[in-house]
Amino acid sequence: MSDTTIANLLTEQDATGLGALVSQGEITPLELTEAAIARIEAANPALNAVIHKSFDKALDAAQSPDLPDGPFTGVPMLLKDLWAANSAGDPNCLGTRGLRRTPFIHSADSNIVSLYRQAGFVIAGRTNTPEFGLMPTTEPLAFGPTRNPWNTDYGAGGSSGGAAAAVAAGMVPAAHASDGGGSIRIPAAMCGLVGLKPSRGRVTMDATINASGFSVQHVVCRTVRDSAAILDVSAKNFPDDNFTLPPSEQPFSKAVGSDPGSLRIGLLDTSPRPVVELHPQCAEAARKTAGLLEELGHKVELAGPQELVTDEATVAFGILWSTGAAVDMAVLSERLGREVTEEDVEPATWRMAQQGADLSEQDVQFAQDTLAQYSQNCLSWWDSGFDLLLTPTTALPPPRIGDLAALHEDPFQGLPKAIPYATFTAPFNITGQPAISLPMHFTPEGLPVGAQLVANLGREDLLLAVAAQLEYAAPWSGQAPSL
């Protein structure tokens, strides 16, 4: 194959297709890796998606006789530069200035990275993330903003914004991501990708940094079959996981193309919070999807959990989010080998961590009890006879670069503006349910917005089956930014 043909494969084929081409001998892992490196070098200056390049190690792995024979042998991948995706010998900066100046180098792969390597993926680098993954935009002071490939005046979302921008720009077909309040689904929606947040406990998560249980790991990618196939290789649990689910009865890949039957689906096309205004284009994404689902034989009705967002749950979530920031600071101190100073982190992170450290055990217990009751109330809607909930992924289209950024004079000025981006996503980090964002609509300005489907606990198979139906009815994988 010519270099041009190989380069085109990165945007024309998904990870599953590239793995098949390697298996059939049509292309070599080295050729794929070289093409990915060339694409990163060409596109990254405009996007700032990849902040650490592991090119030499990737080339060595691609040529190694020990490269595992798996479903994704030789397929290039990127890792999010946050907590649970540690790659041996690479820096892990967590979006902080402190660790950019004094990088922490892991001596071993984390569990999920080991699983990716066993499946044959070739790790080519690490992607940009907001500091500690706390914001739905990727604009850390340490590394600068990641820009949206569809229009570089806009953000790529967060906290997996670097991952989403890289995949949308054709650097790699899939990239590791994580989601503690919408951090897979929000950037997937903003960059025109598939973003599945698995159920809590479906994919391994380092217990030491997952005390709240909000965060889970998976990928952003361009096709439903990739999301399913990569979940098949990563849906494993390890002894140190806080949360585990029983293994799926069959591979998730089998759900793609299967007939889920006629489902009862609730549609929420208005804002669940009086203080959050739903943008018409985001509402249109959900309504357009509802129409397609009805054409596919499903029954869609205006319905949803009675109180998807409550004031009590919002306060409780904020308490645990703040205590999580305080824990993050303690781990940062350990990695730096000294006390953290205000020069090491952003003003908003510093203030949030201080607030978290000042909270009492009673505050934390109140938050946990409140969210446990909230989860029970929310989940009862699915038990009442509904199979899925359909919502917009975000209440607003992608923001302009700088709109959500913190200011030194007002560290928290970006937080109220961030709320609309997590209004439809964060509730399901609380309940632990699986949810998927699909690229169902574009604004008149050409920016992607997503529609979200939510299933009951453990029902990724149902999400993937319906998502595959939608992908077949309204194909999106051929759409790509002109960057």
pLDDT tens digit string along 445-464? 999 999 999 999 999 999 99
Average pLDDT of the chain, as a whole number: 94
CB distance 428 to 195 below 8 Å: no
Residues comprising the chain, all counted: 483
**Runs of H (alpha helix) within 340-401:** 347-358, 361-383
* Strand runs labelled E in 87-241: 91-92, 104-105, 122-127, 147-148, 151-155, 174-179, 194-197, 216-221
On whether the pTM is more than 0.95, the answer is yes
Asked if the structure places residue 390 within a domain, the reply is: yes
Residue 336 has which token pair? 């730096």
Cite the active site residues: 80, 159, 183
Backbone torsions φ then ψ of 242, nearest 5 degrees: -70, -35
Residue 416: pLDDT band by 50, 70, 90 thresholds?
A: confident
Which residue is it, tokens 């990708």?
A: 193
Residue 441: pLDDT band by 50, 70, 90 thresholds?
A: very high
Exposed/middle/buried for 189, CB within 10 Å: 0-12, 13-18, 19+? buried
Beta bridge pairs of residue 451? 392, 438
Candidates 205, 140, 181; CA nearest to 405 is 140
> What is d(CA 438, CA 455) in angstroms, rounded to the nearest whole number?
14
Residue 424 has which token pair? 């439809």
Asked if the structure places residue 400 within a domain, the reply is: yes
Angle of CA points 454, 463, 222, to nearest 5° = 105
Decide if pLDDT at 323 tops 80. yes
**Amino acid code (one letter) for 243:** F
> What is d(CA 181, CA 213) in angstroms, rounded to the nearest whole number?
11
Asked if the structure places residue 264 within a domain, the reply is: yes
Asked if the structure places residue 478 within a domain, the reply is: no
- Which CATH number do you get for residue 17? 3.90.1300.10
Asked if the structure places residue 448 within a domain, the reply is: yes
Asked if the structure places residue 479 within a domain, the reply is: no
> 3-state DSSP call for residue 328?
helix
What does the pLDDT read at residue 110?
Answer: 93
> What is d(CA 182, CA 227) in angstroms, rounded to the nearest whole number?
16
pLDDT in tens, 43-78: 999 999 999 999 999 999 999 999 999 999 999 999
What does the pLDDT read at residue 225?
Answer: 98
Mean pLDDT of 191-214: 84
Count other Cβ atoms within 10 Å, centred on residue 316.
Answer: 23
**Amino acid code (one letter) for 456:** N
Residue 164 has which token pair? 């989403």
Residue 126 has which token pair? 């690490």
Asked if the structure places residue 482 within a domain, the reply is: no
What does the pLDDT read at residue 210?
Answer: 53
Mean pLDDT of 91-100: 96
DSSP string for residues in 406-471 = -BTTBTTTHHHHHHHHHTTTTHHHHH---EEEEEEEE-TTS-EEEEEEEESTT-HHHHHHHHHHHH
**Runs of H (alpha helix) within 120-170:** 161-168
Q: Provide the residue range defining the domain that includes 156.
A: 3-473
Residue 245 has which token pair? 């689910």
Decide if pLDDT at 124 tops 90. yes
> 3-state DSSP call for residue 157?
coil
CB distance 153 to 129 below 8 Å: no
CB distance 76 to 33 below 8 Å: yes
pLDDT in tens, 74-92: 999 999 999 888 999 999 9
Instruction: Give every CB contact of residue 2 below 8 A, 6+ residues apart in sequence.
Output: none
* pLDDT above 90 as % of the chain: 87
Asked if the structure places residue 239 within a domain, the reply is: yes
Residue 388: pLDDT band by 50, 70, 90 thresholds?
A: very high
What does the pLDDT read at residue 405?
Answer: 79
Residue 211: pLDDT band by 50, 70, 90 thresholds?
A: low
- Give the relative orientation of helices 3-12 and 15-23 as an angle to the nearest 10 degrees: 140
In the chain, the number of structural domains is: 1
